[in-house]
Amino acid sequence: MNDVVIQKTSAFFQEKFGSTPEKVVLSPGRINIIGEHIDYNDGYVLPAAIDKIICFAFSKNNSNESNIIALDLNEEMVVDLTAKVRLSEVVWTNYLLGVVKQLQDNGFNFEGFNCVFSSTIPVGSGLSSSAALECGFLYGINALFQLQIKPVDIALMGQKAEHWVGINCGIMDQFSSVMGLENQVIKIDCKTLEFEYHKADFNEYALILFDSNVKHSLMTSAYNQRRQQCEEGLAILKNNFPEISSFRDCSLEQVQQLQNVMSPNVFKRCSFVVKEIQRVALACAALDQGAIETLGQLMFETHAGLSKEYEVSCDELDYLVDFVKNEKAVVGSRLMGGGFGGCTINLIKKGEEETIKSKLVQGYKTAFGIDLKIYDVKIGNGTSLYETIVS
């Protein structure tokens, strides 16, 4: 599928601008194996880049203007690089303008270029097409004008571009899009940005995402409330146990000892956070040992926690996870991302994928009247140059 999009993007570039692109960049979406809602709670996450990408074709154009074409939308934007960038009404352009602003604010010199991009990442399903867009675009400008920006800084500047658009995201999405490696997951310490790779060999299991195709509007208010409840809980923990400076110093027993001085919700949130931090460590150990059933069990536990303790699931996501729990071929499943919609991530025995998919498509349609979308994913490389262009 990626070959088709690479070919299509390059061919369109050639037709529109009359030459083959100087640089072709592939920038992936990402999944997160485990470690949900703990990026802002002193925790670790375990994401990976996937084999779904945005392909960008670039060439310099010896002017002060850049022409950028979103091929999937059949829309074009022209950026005057001598002017200060401003937010536009056209949403997709802002992610790219945010990148231009980051480059300008940090004093990087570059000139006009032409760019065409097209994607195989589903948009708005929680696979971080937005991070792929920011990071791939920045990576391409960096390559074209030899700006010598380091990969980690590409991720950080991509994150700042997204903040400028108005989405106060953590670093996980951009970091995994840029730093991903084929068949490796990245354990990221969201506090310090330290990271380590763990081999991800799922043996006889395939990674499959089920897209609930819903997005409930609760997300923003619930997110802010959860953050506040966790802060409140951590303050109580620190008051009672001076040795605690963050959730990662905290045991479940300590949380349980303070149940009577926490509100029921604060208690549930803290219990989830402490257990989820532990689950990420256990998941890394399971991957290292090739114990995929253990990893799957941890994923089911994470879902139960997100649903019952952190309360960020919804009927549709619970249905998708509960359904596959009864299937022997599925060893793990959980909602992925912030919750209230988006995808579940599943580990399904190879050879049995089609049976599970068709049962679930039918069941989901009957239960909610909604068409399930399905994405097969493999763990792929982070943002990189595509070297062999066939014109």
Distance CA 272, CA 252 (A): 9
Distance CA 268, CA 33 (A): 22
CA 174 remoteness from chain centre? 8
Residue 123 binds which entry of Mg ion, ligand ADP, none, CB below 5-8 Å type-dependent: ligand ADP
Torsion of CA 336, 39, 88, 84, to 10 degrees: -150
CB of 283 to ligand ADP, least distance (A): 22
Residue 124 binds which entry of ligand ADP, Mg ion, none, CB below 5-8 Å type-dependent: ligand ADP
- Is 288 marked active-site? no
Residues engaged in binding ligand ADP (CB under 6 A): 54, 70, 72-73, 91-92, 95, 119, 123-130, 133
Binding residue for Mg ion, selected from 114, 130, 176, 313, defined by CB under 5 A: 130
Torsion of CA 124, 128, 132, 135, to 10 degrees: 120
Cβ-based nearer residue to ligand ADP, 70 or 287: 70
Q: Segment near Mg ion (CB under 5 A), from 54-62, 83-91, 121-129, 336-344?
A: 121-129
Cβ-based nearer residue to ligand ADP, 59 or 118: 118
Question: Interface with Mg ion includes 27 (CB under 5 A)?
Answer: no
Pinpoint the alpha helices (H) of 74-127. Answer: 91-105
Cβ-based nearer residue to ligand ADP, 128 or 346: 128
Please answer whether residues 330 and 204 qualify as being in contact, where contact means their C-beta atoms are separated by less than 8 angstroms. Answer: no
CB of 89 to ligand ADP, least distance (A): 12
Residue 364 binds which entry of Mg ion, ligand ADP, none, CB below 5-8 Å type-dependent: none
CB of 359 to Mg ion, least distance (A): 30
CB of 96 to ligand ADP, least distance (A): 9
DSSP 215-279: E-TTHHHHHHHHHHHHHHHHHHHHHH-TT-SSGGG--HHHHHHTGGGS-HHHHHHHHHHHHHHHH
CB of 86 to ligand ADP, least distance (A): 17
Q: Which residue has the tokens 């819903």?
A: 214
Choosing from 72, 105, 153, 173, the catalytic residue is 173
Report the interface residues with Mg ion, using CB under 5 A: 128, 130
- Cite the active site residues: 173
